[in-house]
């Protein structure tokens, strides 16, 4: 198999497989049948794939009997768990806390887990969020703090240059405080909406119906609206990043050039006789012959007759 022949180290496979491993637990309609249905063709192929690579379902290993799903089909009014995190058994001690999230902006729920990697994480560098300056109350808080700072420190004992240089740290402290407060409030609101959405999902999974489905859709719209601020902020940072480095010999340009070089090779070349060659060595010989003929302007030039242009 291609994956097993190219993989090295601990193998982790994740994605939407459009099939289930345990139909009675991973499909809501199958759990309601008195007699379990026969495995579908896609399910059988998925089983063979998992067995061939010797993988385990990480989420199911932590939740052996729990019913939860990652996809809802409105035409069939049924749930299924078709998104999987598969890993080699030896890597399970390094994996933990697998969870199934809520179905929000996509028609699938997110599936996550923690991966314990060696090494320490280096702290990131603080940057001013430009959207913070437009937030209500931020400019007023900075103004009040600076007024008090200059009133206290503008004395004959402290040089004006020191007062002016130190006020930058004061502004930074206020902005960090304001950003942390708003991030905490947004996180609390996001968690409340997530919890409400999770409850509605459990209700709809247990008792599907139009009333619970409408309430579920309304909760998803509210959560999506809250996420739009983060999306616009990310787009703003991306535009700034490429604007500053657009014409500079920097990392983005190097990566762009490297990608073009990898995909810019000559796969086939036609010689003077009209024959197409695909061998790398033959393509090289054709180029060599072609350019030797172009740059050999004076084939009869010698040391005694150093003519550089043929007659």
Mean pLDDT of 142-163: 83
pTM above 0.85, yes or no: no
Collect all residues with Cβ–Cβ distance below 8 Å to 187 and sequence separation of at least 6: none
- The string of pLDDT tens digits covering residues 181-235 is 888 888 888 888 888 888 888 888 887 788 888 888 888 888 888 777 777 777 7
* Residues 41, 17 contacting (CB under 8 angstroms): no
**Is the separation of the CB atoms in 118 and 83 below 8 Å?**
no
In order of their start, the domains of the chain are 2-115 (3.60.10.10), 130-251 (no CATH), 265-311 (no CATH)
Cα–Cα distance list, 15 to 95, 109, 111 (Å) = 17, 11, 9
Which tens digits make up the pLDDT trace of 53-68? 888 899 988 888 888 8
Tokens of 256: 């762009």
Q: CA nearest 54: which of 97, 91, 24? A: 91
Contact between 219 and 103 (Cβ < 8 Å): no
Name the more confident of 17 and 153. Answer: 17
Q: How many CB atoms lie within 10 A of CB 219?
A: 20
């Amino acid at each position: 198999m291609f994956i097993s022949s190219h993989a090295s180290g601990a193998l982790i496979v994740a994605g939407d497989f459009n099939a289930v491993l345990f139909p009675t637990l991973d499909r809501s309609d199958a759990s309601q049948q008195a007699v379990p249905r026969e495995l579908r063709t896609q399910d059988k192929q998925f089983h063979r794939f998992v067995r061939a690579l010797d993988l385990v379902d990480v989420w199911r290993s932590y939740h052996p009997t729990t019913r939860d799903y990652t996809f809802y089909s409105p035409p069939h009014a049924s749930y299924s768990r078709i998104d999987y995190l598969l890993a080699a058994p030896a890597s399970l001690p390094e994996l933990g806390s697998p969870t199934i999230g809520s179905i929000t902006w996509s028609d699938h729920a997110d599936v996550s887990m923690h991966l314990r990697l060696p090494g320490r994480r280096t702290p990131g560098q603080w940057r001013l969020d430009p959207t913070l300056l437009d937030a209500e109350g931020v400019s007023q808080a900075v103004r009040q703090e600076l007024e008090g700072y200059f009133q206290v420190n503008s004395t004959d004992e402290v040089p004006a240059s020191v007062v002016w240089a130190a006020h930058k740290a004061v502004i930074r402290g206020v902005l960090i405080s304001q950003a942390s407060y708003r991030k905490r409030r947004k996180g609390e609101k996001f968690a409340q909406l997530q919890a409400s959405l999770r409850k509605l999902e459990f209700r709809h999974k247990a008792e599907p119906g139009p009333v619970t489905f409408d309430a579920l859709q309304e909760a998803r719209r509210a959560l999506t609206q809250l996420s739009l601020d983060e999306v616009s902020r990310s787009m703003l940072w991306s535009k700034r990043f490429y604007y500053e480095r657009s014409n500079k010999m920097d990392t983005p340009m190097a990566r762009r050039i490297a990608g073009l070089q990898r995909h810019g090779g000559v796969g086939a070349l036609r010689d003077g006789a009209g024959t197409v060659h695909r061998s790398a060595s033959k393509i090289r010989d054709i180029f060599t012959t072609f350019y030797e003929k172009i740059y050999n302007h004076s084939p009869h030039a010698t040391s005694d007759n150093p003519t550089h242009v043929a007659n």
